[in-house]
Amino acid sequence: MALRDELIRQGRMLFRWRTYLPLLFVPVFLVGLGSAERLERAAGDAVDDVYDWACVAISLVGLGWRAFVSGTVPHGTSGRNTRRQKAAVLNTSGAYSVVRHPLYLGNFLVFLGVLMSPGVPWLVLVGCLSYMAYYERIMLVEEEYLGEVFGTAYRVWSDATPAFLPRWSNWRPPELPFCARAALKKEYATLLGVAVTFAVLDHVEDWLAGVPVTLERDTVVPALIVTAFCLLVRLLHKHTRALHVPAR
């Protein structure tokens, strides 16, 4: 079997289970968390707090980018589907004019902020390499599918558009205006994940370092507010049409 075919075969399996497979990285992350208090001990609480919020900001940039993508694409594309590929149209404007896989770029920034939070260099390196090996295969599967469905139009677009690192000089405004309701409907789970993850990390770091664990208001309160908000959004999404936008 050719190497590309083998990578695509692996990618199909990874695509189907992409929601759960990243959990395999949790044990590695916990090992890294064991060294998470070094920055605080070396530089003090103030520097450590600034660093922590910088990591949160990186993840929020990724979340914001995902929200922009989700809010400017038509229905039937750029979804969370895991059972099969689907693409009603070929997205080539907006975020897709500068990078072929903008959602995975957003995922990477969210993941990078979390990876950096413990302040352990080897964890960032291992996490980034794992991410690239993982999503490279999924991207190959998606590109094979798009090439089969859209043919020449896909090849012309892909030849001019980088896979992962944006080429901002290619920017073209999205064909559809940004829709906040569509973005919220698609990305509230990501928002919840970011808020809860950083709140949990804040307390697990203390626990692994042997520091008495107390509720940290600066992370717990925002996490609780975000959780309540996301539960409301989910209720509206599942039981009303408040977030429904035709063709979005």
Domains, the chain, ordered by start: 3-178 (1.20.120)
Q: What are phi and psi of 12, to 5 degrees?
A: -65, -40
CA 196 to each of CA 37, 47, 178, 190: distance values in angstroms, whole numbers, following the listed order:
20, 22, 27, 10
pLDDT tens digits for range 90-127: 999 999 999 999 999 999 999 999 999 998 999 999 99
Q: Supply the DSSP string of 71-119, one letter for each residue.
A: TSS-TTSS----SS---SS---SGGGGT-S-HHHHHHHHHHHHHHHTT-
pLDDT of residue 204: 87
CA 4 to each of CA 92, 141, 157: distance values in angstroms, whole numbers, following the listed order:
25, 10, 21
% of the chain with per-residue pLDDT over 90: 63
pLDDT class of 140 with cuts at 50, 70, 90: very high
For the cut 80, the answer to whether the pLDDT of residue 177 exceeds it is: yes
Look at residues 226, 222, 224 and name the one whose alpha carbon lies nearest to residue 52. 222
% of the chain with per-residue pLDDT over 70: 93
H/E element holding 26?
helix 26-33
> Could you tell me the pTM of the whole model?
0.90
